[in-house]
Structure 1
Amino acid sequence: MIAVLGECVADGFTDRRPPGPHPGAAGDAAGGLAMRVLPGGGPANTAVALARLGSPTRFLGRISGDVFGELFRGHLAASGVDLSACVEAEEPSTLAVAALDAGGHAEYSFYAEGTADWQWTPYELDPARLGPAGCLHTGSLALVRPPGRTAIEELVRSAAAHATISIDPNVRPTLASRDDYHVTRWCEWTDILKLSDDDLGFLLPDVPMERACDIWHAAGARLILITRGAAGALVSLDGERATVPAPKVEVVDTVGAGDSFTAGLLHHLGAKGLLGGRLDGLDLPTAMEAAAFAAQVSALTCSVAGANPPWAAQLAGSAASR
């Protein structure tokens, strides 16, 4: 089983309404915004993608009792995610309003102060919540937002004694500073570090990818992956490196693409029996194979709106059609 720890976020996508009468607003000539809200949040997206691929997945999240929390629970459960380790939170859900550019890339405005996702306490993160998980994935805002970040880091440190640890910083510069992302320290107990080239540009500006990998390998991470959108991904295992291409796809948007990549990678490594330790049996060709599978999962996520990763059957159908 793979455990995923982190936030659920309500992703709001807006369409500007032109002036004129609208249903329910007779005679109102003012323009406005119509919003469609989809379930999101990097860790939650990863949990959904893992479960849809067929990996037994447990999600550790603080889920609100508000209307967005109901949306999250329904989405996660319908995808087959185990919610038994979640906390029923009194605080409201986090909301992110997304603006999409011409390439489908999202920029977010977050409404996150005092929301449920960041309020973890050591009591709530008892190691027993992980159950028999052989891998723990976390990162994103949950690992950098106070006050819960300290409790999360303590849990992950303890889990590293018996589980493979995967981290995705998934940086959000509007909510956390560069100093909040202690990636080099995290690598002391992290086996897999996945990030995007945008993340790298924020964390280590002007540092080449290969040099960044060397820094983080020296700190302890064995497998590092840097995704580069249509340019594919760099795979670095203990300093031995290669690249994998990105499948060609008609992009609707890139929401959840990186989260799906992580899920595809962990699913493939788990299916090979490589999770549950320090990746001792992993070699570069196998890592590249896992990254190529992850890129396929990510590409299919980009072909639909929002963070809506493919099911295993869809993935098989896509492979058969090529």
Structure 2
Amino acid sequence: MPHRSPHVLVVGEALIDEVRRPDGTTDEHPGGSPANVALTLGRLGRETLLAAHLGQDAHGETLRAWLADSGVTLTPGSDGAAATSVARAVLDGSGAATYDFAITWDVAPGTAATEATLAVHTGSIAAVLEPGADAVHDLVLAARERSTITYDPNARPSLMGTAEAALARIEPLVAAADVVKVSDEDVEWLHPGTDPVEVARTWAARGPAIVVVTFGGEGAVAVCPAGEVRVAAPRVEVVDTVGAGDTFMGALIDGLWERDLLGGDRREALRAIDLASLSEVLERCVAAAAITVSRAGANPPRRAELANR
């Protein structure tokens, strides 16, 4: 039975993050970039569906419980993997993570946006890794008429091959999207030595209403038809950066939803967003991300926590 109430459909990987710390200790946390975005939206009180690719194993059970606890609903067929994927993150002394993966990805047949799907979000591994990447691209194009499309390239070089190969997948999705969020680190990999904001301007000229570049602890810059806006990030003690960008992305979708800017019929209104409104949205995004980096793993805030910031 299709979900008839307004919701966001997130399409992409849910996996186990195995985090190895500088002191040699190891923790396991549920994660995956799109799953973290779905989790953020669920914790902010938004109805969210996640089309994932989980195994019917212990790791899959962990992920199902984690998602359900935050109100995220898995779409039919999301349990069709032979085994649940694992990402191994090694943290340096500053808490920044580098990754390697044991991952498979595909989209269950029949996964699609409906009339009640206000937005479709995808990104990271799911938008690049075969065999599911083609299905993701087709789903996004089919959903554009009725849904806002949001996208975060969230590059994983160890899985995505060369930057040139990744760009062949990433740039068509940028052009199809209404909202793009990208980190300065991703831009440096994709376009070495290029000013990230200049890349954002180039991408915005190809179709998106909003392109946001995040700069970690230095905040974010957004490009839209009304101009550009920059916000600073709150100063916090960083435990690790796992899930911070995904929290920002989820809060961005939530902020646009709050302003009635999601849905295919709101595309022109989204393009007309003013800089003051966009700045307010981004201020909340950096506040949400700051909460996530202040604690271990991908652990985004719930709405009540964010309301107190």
What is the TM-score with the length of structure 1 in the denominator?
A: 0.87
Please, which of 259, 271, 285 is the counterpart of residue 246 of structure 2?
A: 259
Please, which of 82, 88, 99 is the counterpart of residue 97 of structure 1?
A: 88
CA deviations over 1:90-126 (Å, ceiling 9, x no partner):
41111111111111111112122xx3xx1336xx144
The one-letter code of the counterpart of 2:139 is: L
* Deviation, structure 1 residue 203: 1.0
Deviates more, 1:102-111 or 1:78-87: 78-87
Query: 2:142 — aligned with what?
Result: 158
The one-letter code of the counterpart of 2:128 is: V
Query: Between Structure 1 and Structure 2, how many residues are aligned?
Result: 296
Are 1:196 and 2:183 matched, yes or no?
Answer: yes
The one-letter code of the counterpart of 2:93 is: A
- CA 1:125/1:138 → structure 2, altered by over 3 Å: closer, same or farther? farther
- Cα distance in 2 for partners of 1:70, 1:83 equals 12
- Cα distance in 2 for partners of 1:119, 1:184 equals 20
Query: 1:276 — aligned with what?
Result: 263
- CA 1:109/1:271 → structure 2, altered by over 3 Å: closer, same or farther? same
Are 1:288 and 2:279 matched, yes or no?
Answer: yes
* 1:87 match: secondary structure: coil
* 1:39 match: secondary structure: strand
- Cα distance in 1 for partners of 2:55, 2:92 equals 30
Aligned positions of 1:22-37 closer than 5 A = 35-37=26-28
* Deviation, structure 1 residue 36: 2.2
Query: 2:3 — aligned with what?
Result: none
Aligned positions of 1:88-167 closer than 5 A = 88-112=79-103, 115=104, 118-120=105-107, 124-127=109-112, 130=114, 132-167=116-151
- CA 1:79/1:86 → structure 2, altered by over 3 Å: closer, same or farther? farther
* 1:141 match: secondary structure: helix
Query: 2:8 — aligned with what?
Result: 2
Are 1:70 and 2:55 matched, yes or no?
Answer: no
Unmatched 5+ stretches in structure 1: 18-32
* Deviation, structure 1 residue 15: 5.7
- Cα distance in 2 for partners of 1:131, 1:69 equals 29
* 2:117 match: secondary structure: coil
Please, which of 228, 253, 278 is the counterpart of residue 215 of structure 2?
A: 228
8 Å contact kept, 1:10–1:38: yes
Query: 1:187 — aligned with what?
Result: 174
* 1:205 match: secondary structure: coil
Identity between Structure 1 and Structure 2 (%): 37
CA deviations over 1:214-244 (Å, ceiling 9, x no partner):
2212211110000001111011113711200
8 Å contact kept, 1:168–1:195: yes
The one-letter code of the counterpart of 1:50 is: L
- CA 1:54/1:194 → structure 2, altered by over 3 Å: closer, same or farther? same
* 2:176 match: secondary structure: coil
8 Å contact kept, 1:184–1:219: no
* 1:63 match: secondary structure: coil
8 Å contact kept, 1:98–1:106: yes
- CA 1:92/1:242 → structure 2, altered by over 3 Å: closer, same or farther? same
CA deviations over 1:131-190 (Å, ceiling 9, x no partner):
611101101100000111001100000101111000000000011031123333223311
- Cα distance in 1 for partners of 2:119, 2:76 equals 15
The one-letter code of the counterpart of 2:35 is: A
- CA 1:153/1:309 → structure 2, altered by over 3 Å: closer, same or farther? same
- CA 1:146/1:312 → structure 2, altered by over 3 Å: closer, same or farther? same
* 2:95 match: secondary structure: coil
The one-letter code of the counterpart of 1:143 is: A
- Cα distance in 2 for partners of 1:86, 1:241 equals 41
- CA 1:102/1:281 → structure 2, altered by over 3 Å: closer, same or farther? same
Please, which of 291, 304, 307 is the counterpart of residue 298 of structure 2?
A: 307
8 Å contact kept, 1:125–1:155: no
Are 1:44 and 2:42 matched, yes or no?
Answer: no
* 2:135 match: secondary structure: helix
CA deviations over 1:186-208 (Å, ceiling 9, x no partner):
23311001010000001111121
What is the TM-score with the length of structure 2 in the denominator?
A: 0.91
* Deviation, structure 1 residue 61: 0.9
* 2:177 match: secondary structure: coil
* 1:13 match: secondary structure: strand
Query: 1:171 — aligned with what?
Result: 155
8 Å contact kept, 2:51–2:74: yes
- CA 1:281/1:215 → structure 2, altered by over 3 Å: closer, same or farther? closer
